[in-house]
Structure 1
Amino acid sequence: MFKKSSWEHLRIPFSYYLMPVFWFALSSATDVPIVNIIAVGVILHLFLYPSSNGYNSYFDKDEKSIGGLKNPKKVTLGLYYLSLAFFGIALIGALFINSLFFAMVLIYGLVSMAYSHPAVRLKKYPYLSWITAGFFQGAFTFAMCVIGFLDGDFSLLLEWEVLSPALITTLLLLGSYPLTQVYQHEEDQKRGDITLSLKLGIKGTFYFAAIWFLVSGIAFIWYFAHIHADWAIWWFLGSTTPLVIYFYIWFSLIIKDPNKYANHSMAMTMNKISSSALNFFFIYYFFAQ
């Protein structure tokens, strides 16, 4: 019923790059039932995120490289229905946890649809899309995970122990988000999507990202110091060192020749190093507490 290309556009392996928020949220929760950990992980990474990927691919109709696909195939109507089916499964699964988690999964899905749907297309508004992506992929997802882990209610979202790390994840996403657009300037401009990276320019995107990475790094250090987990600061700095080194190398190459090095391969390598470093740290932090 669904073509192989439709399944490819779901980009399920790409969910690995989004896992750090899941692990950070888990490390910030206590006494989480194993069944909730598995349920939230499956709902988000195997259904909700792929649904968002496929839905946006259908309306973007990219002809050149996108996140997780170097040579995307032509999309079909089947992809649209497949993405909706995955979203439906995510919602059904969320109902088995609690109503608030269901509502948050629904909101996340609808906002991700608005990102590329022509009736709204948040993607074409540089600052609005930046704030939206940073908030929903960061703080909102963190809070959504915590609600799912603990079967919590709305009052849990107002607690400092949830709010502060949630907002810190958004700071990190505000830096990384524009880098995901840096190799798509030609296609975005052709469609009339003035993304933040396109507005900043290639070099400007890297300067912008560097500032937010510094701010988020300081915020993480402050957070661990504030909760008296000073030992985690050194593990955080050590784990993210490969990311800092790669970003510096890539940045140096961009300064020399931005058009040559602002490509899909460099960006995906950045994603792999970033997600692997952060996944390692947050998993270690979870077990070491």
Structure 2
Amino acid sequence: MRNVLLHLRIPFSLFLLPVFLFALSQTSFASASQAWWAFVLIHLFLYPASNAYNSYYDKDEGSIGLLETPPPVSVGLLVTAWALDLAAIVLAILLDLGTPFVLYLVLYGLISKAYSHPAIRLKKYPLLSWLIVGLFQGALTYLATVQVLSHMEVPSLFSVRHLLPALICTSNLWAVYPLTQVYQHDEDARRGDLTYSRLVGIEGTFLSAAVFFTLSFVGFLYYFLHFGSVNSLIVLTVCMGPVLGYFGYWWWRVRQNPTEANFRHTMRMNVLASLGLNLFFGILCLYPL
């Protein structure tokens, strides 16, 4: 049971909390209880199910997502992944969270399984898997959260007001996701997975992250100047300054010694990025600027 709980990697799922908080900060939600349930179903059911499913088929021996030494996997992990996915869908229906949100849960669950299952294994296609992870964990999750919080009609989501922040979330994930693969090149090579990070190499991984971090900031700049305020940009700079500083420091270390592209630096980068964005969006939720 302990091994199953470890492979759910619930704390790792919370690294994606900024997407939810961004949507929450930009939405007039209709029901506080439904907002809480949306959070629970995404972060405590959907994401852990995806983590468990991925762990079952990968059977990692090296460090992965907060687990420096992953425990052995069993069929119980696969059963747990399916149970969490089905429970999320059933609860969304019973709680009347709406058909679009239920469809989001179903679609995300199916894609996460296609990502890992050996019969399809999207993970072995570097560009496709990178695109899918960014779009589903970023844009789709942002839009699904806005929709379920506000009970908005789906066509209304297709405007700059909603699509731009959704794309900012995707850009952030396109920057960060390859960094989570940069220390796993040997493990991925052993399984025959050509990940995006392996494809572009260590230097290319950092360069790609720098490009998409820059695009994210440009997106934030445009979005808050048109739909928010300069104060939001000031707070964003303060919250994310340490993250960008650490990223630059880590990149410099890696250029001196490629072995610095390791698990511990990756986890520090993830924690800093998550804390910085969570702090920023948390402030926006509590004190709209």
User: Same fold judged by TM-score > 0.5?
Assistant: yes
Tell me the TM-score normalized by structure 2. 0.96
Matched, 1:190 2:197: no
Alignment partners' CA distance in 1, 2:119 and 2:132: 17
Structure 2: distance between partners of 1:242 and 1:61: 34
Q: Which runs of 5+ in 1 are unaligned?
A: none
- The corresponding residue for 1:85 is 83
The equivalent residue for 2:61 is 63
Q: Structure 2: how far apart are the matches of 1:205 and 1:128?
A: 16
Q: Partner letter of residue 116 of structure 1?
A: S
Q: Residues 1-289 of structure 1 correspond to what in structure 2 (within 5 A)?
A: 3-95=1-93, 96=95, 97-258=97-258, 260-289=259-288
CA deviation after TM superposition for structure 1 residue 109, in Å:
1.0
Aligned partner of residue 56 in structure 1, secondary structure: helix
What is the alpha-carbon distance in structure 2 between the residues aligned to residue 21 and residue 39 of structure 1? 16
Asked whether the 8 Å contact 2:29–2:149 carries over to 1, the reply is no
The Cα offsets for residues 98-139 of structure 1, whole Å up to 9 and x where unpaired, read as 111000111011111111111111111110011101100100
| Conservation of the 8 A alpha-carbon contact between 1:147 and 1:156 | no
For 1:43 and 1:34, locate their aligned partners in 2 and report how far apart those are by CA, in whole Å. Answer: 14
- The letter for the 2-side match of 1:72 is P
Count of aligned pairs: 286
Question: Percentage identity across aligned positions?
Answer: 43
Instruction: Tell me the CA shift for residue 30 of structure 1.
Output: 1.1
Q: How far did residue 228 of structure 1 move?
A: 4.2
Residue 253 (structure 1) shift:
0.4
Report the Cα distance in structure 2 between the residues aligned to 1:93 and 1:161, rounded to whole angstroms.
30
Q: State the 1:161 CA deviation.
A: 2.1
Q: Deviations over 1:32-61 (max 9, x none)?
A: 421121111110111110000000100011
In 2, the alpha carbon distance for the partners of 1:72 and 1:156 equals: 43
1:138-195 per-residue CA deviation (whole Å, 9 max, x = no partner) reads: 0001011112212333223223322121111111111111101001000111111100
CA distance in 2, matches of 1:107, 1:233: 34
Distance 2:192 2:283 in 1: 43
Greater alpha carbon shift after TM alignment, 84-93 vs 144-153:
144-153
**Residue identity opposite 1:223 in structure 2:** Y
Q: Deviations over 1:208-249 (max 9, x none)?
A: 111111111111111101114111010111110010111011
Query: Bigger shift: 225-234 or 135-144?
Result: 225-234
Report the secondary structure of 2:194's partner residue: coil
- Name the CA distance, whole Å, in 1 between partners of 2:244 and 2:160: 29
Supply the AA of the counterpart residue of 1:190. R
Structure 2: state its 5+ residue gaps. Answer: none
Structure 1: which amino acid aligns with 2:102?
A: F
Partners of 1:28 and 1:161 within 8 A in 2: no
Paired residues of 2:181 and 2:195 also in contact (CA < 8 A): yes
Q: Provide the alpha-carbon RMSD of the alignment.
A: 1.1
Regions of 4+ moved over 2 Å: none
- For 1:63 and 1:148, how far apart are their aligned partners in 2? 38
- What one-letter code is carried by the residue in structure 1 that aligns with 2:281? F
Q: Is the 8 A contact 2:161 2:227 kept in 1?
A: no
> What TM-score, normalized to structure 1?
0.96
2-structure distance, mates of 1:92, 1:30: 26
